[in-house]
Amino acid sequence: MLLNSYLRSSENEFVSLIRALDACWNVAENVQKATARLAELTGVESDSETVAIRESMLEGCKVFRKFLDHIQVVSRQLDLAAQETRAVLVTSNHLREDLAPLNHIAFHFRLESCRLSPEDTASILGIYDDMREVLGGMTQSGDSQDSTLSTILGKLSTATQTVEQASSSYADRATVSEKNIYHNLELLLTVPPDLADVRSKAAAVGASIADSIREAVKVLQGHDAIRQRLEHILGALARVRTDSETEPGNALLLQRHQAKCVLEMIVNTGSRIEVELNGVIRSAQGLAGDSSDRAAAEAQVEKFEEAVDRLASISAGVAELLTGEMKIGNFVLNQIEPIDELLNANSGELRALAHSMKRLKRLALNVLISADKMPSARGIGVLGSWTSEAAERVLKLAKELDEKFGRLGATVESQAASITADVQEVESCRSGLLMPRAYNNLRNSRRDEYDEVNRLNEKARELQQKTEDLLKSLKFVDEGSRLLGDLDPTLEVLLTLYPKPEKPLDLNAASVGYTMQGEREVHAAVFGGDEKKGLARLSEPAEGQDYGDNVELF
Amino acid sequence: MAERILAVDDSSTMRQLVNMTLTRSGYEVVEAEDGSAGLQKASADSFDMVLSDINMPIMGGLDMVRNLRKLAQYKFTPIVLVTTESQVEKKQEGKAAGATGWIVKPCEPEQLLAVVTKVLR
The answer, yes or no, to whether residue A375 has pLDDT greater than 80, is: no
Please state the rounded mean pLDDT for residues A81-110.
Answer: 82
d(CA A16, CA A383): 133
Residue-level pLDDT at A417: 92
Q: Do B13 and A224 touch (CB under 8 A)?
A: yes
3-state SS, one letter per residue, for A368-409: HHHHHHCCCCHHHHHHHHHHHHHHHHHHHHHHHHHHHHHHHH
Report percent pLDDT > 90 for chain A.
9
Bridge partners, B30 (sequence order): B6
Please state the rounded mean pLDDT for residues A362-387.
Answer: 79
The answer, yes or no, to whether residue A156 has pLDDT greater than 80, is: yes
d(CA A371, CA A388): 14
Residue-level pLDDT at B27: 96
The answer, yes or no, to whether residue A522 has pLDDT greater than 70, is: no
Asked if A476 is an interface residue toward chain B (Cβ–Cβ < 8 A), one would say no
pLDDT grade for A245, boundaries at 50, 70 and 90: low
Please state the rounded mean pLDDT for residues A124-147.
Answer: 83
Please state the rounded mean pLDDT for residues A267-279.
Answer: 92
Which residues on chain B are in Cβ contact (under 8 Å) with A12?
12
Residue-level pLDDT at A531: 44
Bridge partners, B50 (sequence order): B6, B79
The alpha carbons of chain B give a radius of gyration, in whole angstroms, of 13
- Contact between A220 and B17 under an 8 Å Cβ cutoff? The reply is yes
Q: Do B13 and A223 touch (CB under 8 A)?
A: yes
Residue-level pLDDT at A534: 53
CA A307 to chain centre: 17
A170-174, A380-384, A529-533: range with lowest mean pLDDT: A529-533
pTM for this structure?
Answer: 0.69
pLDDT grade for B66, boundaries at 50, 70 and 90: very high
Q: Which amino acid is at A313?
A: S
Largest Cα span, chain B: 38
Structure letter (DSSP) for residue B71:
S
* Coil/strand/helix, residue A188: helix
Collect all residues with Cβ–Cβ distance below 8 Å to A272 and sequence separation of at least 6.
A215, A216, A219, A222, A526, A527
Please state the rounded mean pLDDT for residues B86-115.
Answer: 90
Please name each of the domains of chain B with its CATH number: 4-120 (3.40.50.2300)
Residue-level pLDDT at A525: 55
Tell which of B79, B104, B117, B118 to mutate to test the A interface (max A CBs under 10 Å).
Answer: B104
Q: How many CA atoms lie within 13 A of A526 on its CB side?
A: 33
ipTM of this complex: 0.88
Residue-level pLDDT at A530: 45
H or E stretch covering B28: strand B28-32
- Contact between B83 and B104 under an 8 Å Cβ cutoff? The reply is yes
The answer, yes or no, to whether residue A215 has pLDDT greater than 70, is: yes
CB burial readout A386-405, b (16+ within 10 A) else e: bbbebbebbbebbebbeebb
Residue-level pLDDT at A532: 43
* Dihedral, CA of residue A48, residue A54, residue A57 and residue A58, to nearest 10: -110
Kindly report the backbone phi and psi dihedral angles of residue B83, in degrees, each rounded to the nearest multiple of 5, phi listed first: -150, 165
Which residues on chain B are in Cβ contact (under 8 Å) with A25?
20, 24
The minimal CB distance from B106 to the residues A14, A22, A522 is found for A522
> What's the mean pLDDT when you consider all of chain A?
83
Which residues on chain B are in Cβ contact (under 8 Å) with A223?
11, 13
The answer, yes or no, to whether residue A48 has pLDDT greater than 90, is: no
Tens of pLDDT along A480-513?
999 888 888 888 888 888 777 777 777 666 665 5
Asked if B25 is an interface residue toward chain A (Cβ–Cβ < 8 A), one would say no
Residue-level pLDDT at A246: 65
Tens of pLDDT along A290-343?
655 778 888 889 998 998 888 888 888 888 888 988 998 999 899 888 888 888
Q: Do A552 and B87 touch (CB under 8 A)?
A: no
